[in-house]
Amino acid sequence: TPSPAAAPERRPFSRVTPEDLAFFSKIIPDRTITDPDILEASNVDWLKSVSFSEVLLRPQTTEEVSQILGYCNSRNLAVSPQGGNTGLVGGSVPVYDEIILSTALMNNVLNFDSVSGQYRLTAPILCVCICVKVLADGRVLDCLATLRKDNTGYDLKQLFIGSEGTLGVITAVTILCPRKPKAINVGFLGRCMLGEILSAFEFLDRECMRPLNTHLKLANPITDCPFYVVIETSGSNPTHDEEKLHQFLEEAMTSSQVIDGTVATEAKIKALWSLRERVTEALTHDGFTYKYDISLPVERIYQLVTDMREHLGDRAKSVVGYGHVGDGNLHLNITSPTKDPDLLASIEPFVYEWTARFQGSISAEHCLGLKKRNYIYYSKASLAVALMGNIKTMLDPKGILNPYKTLPDDLQ
């Protein structure tokens, strides 16, 4: 039996013909790409999931996206919308020969409102936004209103956020930009335990240090501790901010919550952040990484890592936990030298059952993509999933947008 994560069979979408290519080239000359060397970067994602698309389209305007989608819908051609291609669940690359519709060139600032601090841009990324345009049939839905409050009917833009390009293609976004802070301080602290006071902190555990040291030659700037947290302050008065942070550190160390710590300003800030931001990269050098992106009530956030470690014994090379504790978001990563089906069978469904038992979510921020689509029922009621299916059918009746992703196979 194939694993539930395996791709379903190719659905009977049309194949791209020379006439189709001629149509695309007419709308976006020079940006209709069939050169396999250029296509490769779009056919392989960050985790080396591979696909076989032969066409990459790089529109620059909403109008171009609209024309392309209208055409693909009428021709029954499947489309895989792609942003930065940094997905971790196989959601950003095609599964078979879907046309890749890249938003990489849609990076123009359209306008900046200095009073509200809002930037409006064409979209470089698919799912960070407060506004959405374009439906599968090419109609353009404008949700770009920049009002903070707007309760006139359903909030349609929210439907598109996190939908992984299965409902529409986001072609423009408005983002709120706070003023650039005059003073930034970053603290890297070693803790003996994690508690509920970690409301806005990033964290990594002791096991993350090994791959950071061995593979990326990043040294631990403080003494060895079970947990490390990174905190950042952004303010307007450097002396005041620094004083406050040092005072906090002193108090934390006196109360034994923090074992050791270091604080950086300016040049050293990047180095401290690397210890958190480059964990994912460091782990890839171990061989193969099994990734879980779990939301849990914050008091349980680390228990899954401890239980998984005990459950797997020495079968995994590393079982590490890191993430956004303030959001209750744990990144549980398990590595082994190569892909190992027996190890996978020990991890899943254990990890999903554990998460469901504590009312957690099996995808906090990475979405479901191809890899996790069939596990949706661990975190969502059947009725909720059925309604998602209805919404998909309403917005994309032919199912041409990012097929095989997000929704489980019974609703594809």
Using a 10 angstrom Cβ sphere, with 0-12 exposed, 13-18 middle and 19 or more buried, the burial of residue 221 is: middle
| Angstrom distance (rounded) from CA 118 to CA 109 | 11
**Do 230 and 273 meet the contact criterion of CB atoms below 8 Å apart?**
yes
Kind of pairing between the strands at 79-82 and 172-176: unpaired
Instruction: Restricting to residues 228-257, name those near ligand 2HG by CB under 6 A.
Output: none
Q: How far is the CB of 92 from ligand 2HG (least distance, A)?
A: 14
Of the candidate residues 291, 300, 311, 315, the single one contacting ligand 2HG (CB under 6 A): 291
Q: Is 333 in the site for ligand 2HG (CB under 6 A)?
A: yes
Residue 280 beta carbon to ligand 2HG: minimum distance, rounded to whole angstroms: 4
CB nearer ligand 2HG, residue 242 or residue 327:
327
Q: At what angle do helices 62-75 and 18-27 cross, to 10 degrees?
A: 160
DSSP, collapsed to helix, strand or coil, labels residue 69 as: helix
Per-residue CA distances from 66 to 177, 189, 357 (Å): 28, 49, 43
Is the CB of 279 or the CB of 401 nearer to ligand 2HG? 279
The length of the chain, given as a count of residues: 412
* Nearer residue to ligand 2HG within complex by CB, 120 or 291: 291
Q: Which of 58, 191, 331, 405 binds ligand 2HG (CB under 6 A)?
A: 331
Q: Is 66 in the site for ligand 2HG (CB under 6 A)?
A: no
> Which residue has the closest beta carbon to ligand 2HG?
280
Footprint of ligand 2HG on 265-284 (CB under 6 A):
280
Min dist. Cβ of residue 284 to ligand 2HG (A): 9
Question: Strands (DSSP E) along 54-154, which ranges?
Answer: 56-57, 79-82, 99-102, 109-113, 118-122
| x-or-dash string of contact with ligand 2HG, 299-328, rule CB under 6 A | ------------------------x-----
Interface with ligand 2HG, residue 88, by CB under 6 A: yes
Which CB atom, from 66 or from 333, has the smaller least distance to ligand 2HG? 333
| Eight-state DSSP code of residue 372 | S
Q: How many whole angstroms separate alpha carbon 398 and alpha carbon 71?
A: 13
How many residues bind ligand 2HG (CB under 6 A)? The answer is 7
Nearer to ligand 2HG, 89 or 129 (CB): 89
Beta bridge partners of residue 234, listed in sequence order? 184
Question: Could you list the residues that contact ligand 2HG (CB under 6 A)?
Answer: 88, 280, 291, 293, 323, 331, 333
